[in-house]
Structure 1
Amino acid sequence: MIKRYNMLILALCCGGGVFAQTLAQAKKWFAEGEFGKAKPVFERLVRQAPSNASYNFWYGACCYETGELQKSVPYLEKSAERKYIDGYLYLSKACYDLYRFDEAIENLEEHIYWLERKKRDTSFTDKLMEKYRMGARMIRGVENVTVIDSFVVDKNELLKAYKLSEAAGTVGALDDMQGTYYADEWGDKMILPQTDAAGKTHLYTRTKLGESWSSPQPLDGVNEAECSQNYPFLNSDGITLYFASEGKESMGGYDIFITRYDTEDGTYLKPDNVGFPFNSPFNDYLYVIDDFNQLGWFASDRYQPEGKACVYVFVPNTSKIVYDYEATDPDKLRDLARMSSIRSTWGNAEQLRNGKQRLAQATYGNEQKQHEGDFEFVVNDNSVYRKLGDFRSAQALKLFTQLQQKQKDLAALKKSLEDARYSYTQAVNPADRQRMAPGILDKEKRVNELQKEISSLTVEVRNTEIKAIKHL
């Protein structure tokens, strides 16, 4: 009996030694960022002691760090309930990534409270709190936008998913594939990123004068010295600029920003974050609007594996429309902000149908290149016209010729506007600039009006022809 008792004691001691060694190794892995190695050890421990605050924290944190976001929450909540200080911190991060921003703020405040009580440094929490509060503001203004399609592509082939009309200009990849540049439709103005000594990229503009390009000039009002700006796109109005930045007002890595050129003082206005659903805690960039086709694109690496990005195609709103924060179910609003499913954005059936038709037209025109006629006009998913003789409806044909004329007028007006802007930038005398400004503003207004007229007339031509086909 004594021999068996001693053997039992020895076994328990050896087991305890192995357990201590395993726990020490798992904690070492955790401290070194080897969360995948540490996770199975902490999983076993938390099963053995479900109420242990430390085990719940370590396992929950490992789940968070290895991408199991939802799974991490109950374990982190349990550790926070037991006043495990870092449990509050990790729980705040998980809530942030799940777009539960008010909860993220509450848990971070609790984390700060306990740090202060223990007289520990809290300075590192300032940036986190700024991001959490920004997310809380942005979730109250989620834009109601129709996303008609999405494509997962290799990042080095990103631009293949963008089907732009010639009127939208050109977006091209830099030689080192570390960003993109924009060139207008006439090829005489360019916006491009350049890298500084610290490795940050900033936006510059160049203008073609005769056969040569001007030296790059920084975009005043856009660049922040301590962070990168990249992926520029100048809208067809020549004033509205979209770009991506890793600045203080970014949620994740790159966020998409919008700014407008102030013609009076020759600088860009303070950029604004475009908000949800376009931005996320991940990298979001290369926001492009094709006014001619009434389509928009942006890229994001949210929820994508390494080396991949998702390109979303959407119908741009003429003015921002947001969901009612108070009246919308919180879970639904979070899904809309995250863009969990593009189907959830399909509230306007007509807008979706017309957008898909325009995307088919843009894709068909860029990829098929079978120009056997004078033009390409998509009537519906099954019919693409290339000659005036293809029209069945005399009224639709009449409207289409009006549409062609308006498109020519728009091209001429844009060229005139570009020339006027160039003359404005070259004017040295402030009085000359003041004299030119009203004419430029008038041209800009007419460009916007013509674009709306072309959009409306395009729909009218299509609907008139479809009606005629149905009655044949």
Structure 2
Amino acid sequence: MKKILICAALLSAFVVNPATAQKKKKRVKAQPVIQLSEEELIKQARLEQMTDATQKIMFVDSIVVDKDMFLGKYAISPESGTLCRYNEMFKNGSKPESYLHINELGNKCYFSDKDKAGNMKLYTSDRLGNQWTEPAAITVLDDDNELEQMNYPYIMTDGTTLYFAAQGSGSIGGYDIFETRYDSETGTYLKPENIGMPFNSTANDYMYAIDETAGIGWFATDRNQPEGKVCVYIFVAPETRQVYSAENYTKEQIKQFADISSIADTWGKGGERNNALNKVREIRNGNGHKEDAKNKISFVINDDVTYNSISDFKVSGNMEKFKQLNEMRALAKTLSDKIEKAREQYANGDMTVRNRLKATILANEKENEKLEMQIRQLEKDIRNSENILLNQKRANHYE
């Protein structure tokens, strides 16, 4: 009996428990290899290159705000023009997605609008008197058709450098910010360049604006933000482009700067940041006195009377006429500068250049002559109507 029990025990040792067998057969399921498309691989490579070339920027402040209200956090000075929605400027409710920038003279604007195919494009318009000219499409060299849905334009005070945001294969996310320059020789804008990081990301980044007077810039992004919110970053506009060197920073540190993980890490000792904050406050405080500055004028009515404020006009409608007069004067100056520049190019150019410029110069001179006549006539009309009223009041006083 003892031998039988021993044999049974030995036999049971060789019998595999079903549960144990299942455990032994269980294998870890292999993860599928994700195959990236060629476009995704190109975008990934571009992202890595941009990260390595992240620009060294000091971020002064950041403000989270509702997406529809982000422009309210920008505070560019009058010398840098005016930023607003297209609908606010033209009282038109049909273009809620269009944004507009008017130059500092108030006689030229840049804005976005949909074409017939529904793709957002950039346009410009000039102010002649109290009317805006028909919009003209801005021709941007984009031979590879990398950009679409162009929006959020901003023209620098040089009248040549244009910033805007666009989607498409040229971006690393949704909207990216691009820079281009006007080529007076061809009458087009050069191929736009992605301005890189930290301004751009895999999220939407847009409305890049620089106040050159204060040296302060703004841009908006929805990176790391909940739906319906954006972050407006205020930064010190760099005089020259500097990048984070791989010799002084690790790859991870550069990536954090690219992602704007902490604006405090860009402050240094803090002195420059405090100066920048003071400039931002000065701009915001100055914005409240824009109308006072605009109201200061010097307009001779007669030998004894000179108006020093726009509110001095007595005749109904003359305030608006004087504003129109200033706009015409600004336009005449712009046109004169344009003619002078064309004359210089004509003098230094070869026969081909001269033939091309001759008709343009003559046409602009004719337009400028007509504009100067309109200016003189409008000045005369304003002056005469004011003198008539002043003389009537003087006569009534002595009666």
Task: Sort the TM-score into its range (normalised by shorter chain).
Answer: 0.5 to 0.7
Is contact 2:147–2:166 with CA below 8 Å preserved after alignment? Answer: no
Q: How far off is 1:212 after superposition?
A: 2.3
Q: Which of 181, 186, 193 lines up with 1:265 in the alignment?
A: 186
Secondary structure, counterpart of 1:278 in structure 2: coil
Structure 2 residue matching 1:332: 3-state secondary structure: helix
The residue number in structure 2 matching 1:84 is: 32
Please tell me whether residue 420 in structure 1 is matched to residue 337 in structure 2: yes
How big is the shift at 1:193? 0.9
Determine the C-alpha separation between the residues in 1 that align with 2:358 and 2:235.
41
Partner of 1:65: none
Q: Deviations over 1:144-163 (max 9, x none)?
A: 01110011111111111001
Once residues 170 and 370 of structure 1 are traced to their aligned partners in structure 2, the CA distance between those partners, rounded to angstroms, is 14
Match of 2:56 among 144, 159, 169: 144
Shift of residue 344 of structure 1?
Answer: 1.3
CA distance in 2, matches of 1:276, 1:179: 25
User: What do the CA deviations read for 1:21-76 (whole angstroms, capped 9, x no partner)?
Assistant: xxxxxxxxxxxxxxxxxxxxxxxxxxxxx9844xxxxxxxxxxxxxxxxxxxxxxx
Paired AA for residue 275 in structure 2: N
The residue aligned with 1:134 is 46
For 2:63 and 2:183, the matched residues in 1 are separated by 35
Partner in structure 1 of residue 70 of structure 2: 158
Q: CA deviation at 1:265?
A: 1.6
Distance, in Å, in 2 between the alignment partners of 1:415 and 1:344 is: 48
Residue 75 of structure 2 corresponds to residue 180 of structure 1: no
Alignment partners' CA distance in 1, 2:113 and 2:62: 30
- Matched letter for residue 210 of structure 1: G
1:107-163: CA deviations, max 9, x gaps? xxxx36xxxxxxxxxxxx121111101111101210001110011111111111001
Kept in 2: contact 1:146–1:348 (CA 8 A):
no
CA distance in 2, matches of 1:369, 1:207: 23
Q: What is aligned with 2:177?
A: 256
CA distance in 2, matches of 1:433, 1:322: 46
For residue 244 of structure 1, the aligned residue among 162, 165, 181 is 165
The 5-angstrom pairing of residues 204-283 of structure 1 reads 204-221=123-140, 224=145, 227-283=148-204
If you compute each CA radius of gyration, which structure gives the higher value, 1 or 2?
2
Q: Deviations over 1:243-264 (max 9, x none)?
A: 0010221011100000111122
Q: Distance in 1 between matches of 2:27 and 2:330?
A: 72
**Which residue identity does 2:55 align to in structure 1?**
E
Q: TM-score, normalised by structure 1?
A: 0.55
- Encode CA deviations 1:253-303: one digit per residue, 9 max, x unaligned: 100000111122211111100000000000000000001111100000001
**Deviation readout 1:419-465 (Å, 9 max, x if unpaired):** 423787999952349989xxxxxxxxxxxxxxxxxxxxxxxxxxxxx
Report if aligned partners of 1:283, 1:301 keep a CA contact under 8 Å in 2: yes
Conserved? CA contact 1:424–1:433, under 8 Å? no
Q: Distance in 2 between matches of 1:172 and 1:147?
A: 23
Please give the alpha-carbon distance, in whole angstroms, between the structure 2 residues aligned to 1:435 and 1:213. Answer: 23
Backbone CA RMSD of aligned residues? 3.4
Deviates more, 1:174-183 or 1:261-270: 174-183
1:370-449 matched pairs, under 5 angstroms: 416=333, 419-421=336-338, 430-432=356-358
**Do the aligned residues in 2 keep the contact of 1:156 with 1:177 (CA within 8 Å)?**
no
Give the letter for the 2:101 counterpart: Y
Preserved CA contact (<8 Å) 1:200 1:226: no
Distance 1:128 1:422, change over 3 A: farther
Instruction: Among all aligned residue pairs of Structure 1 and Structure 2, give the percentage whose two residues are the same amino acid.
Output: 34
Q: Distance in 2 between matches of 1:355 and 1:304?
A: 25
Q: Quickly say closer, same or farther: Cα 1:267–1:349, change in 2 above 3 A.
A: same
CA contact (8 A) 1:193 1:229 kept: yes
- The structure richer in helix per residue is 1
Q: CA deviation at 1:366?
A: 2.7
1:333 paired residue number: 254
Structure 1 Cα separation of the partners of residues 147 and 178 of structure 2: 17
Q: What's the CA shift for 1:218?
A: 1.3
- Which structure has more relative contact order (CA 8 Å, sep 6+)? It is 2
Q: How many residues align?
A: 286
Per the alignment, residue 205 of structure 2 pairs with: 284
Structure 2 length-normalised TM = 0.64
**Unpaired runs of at least 5, structure 2:** 1-25, 88-94, 297-328, 347-353, 363-399
Confirm or deny: 8 A CA contact 1:255 1:283 kept in the other structure: yes
Structure 1 residue ranges without an equivalent (≥5): 1-49, 54-81, 90-110, 113-124, 376-411, 437-472
Bigger strand fraction: 2
- Give the aligned residue type for 2:110: I
Give 2:244's aligned amino acid: Y
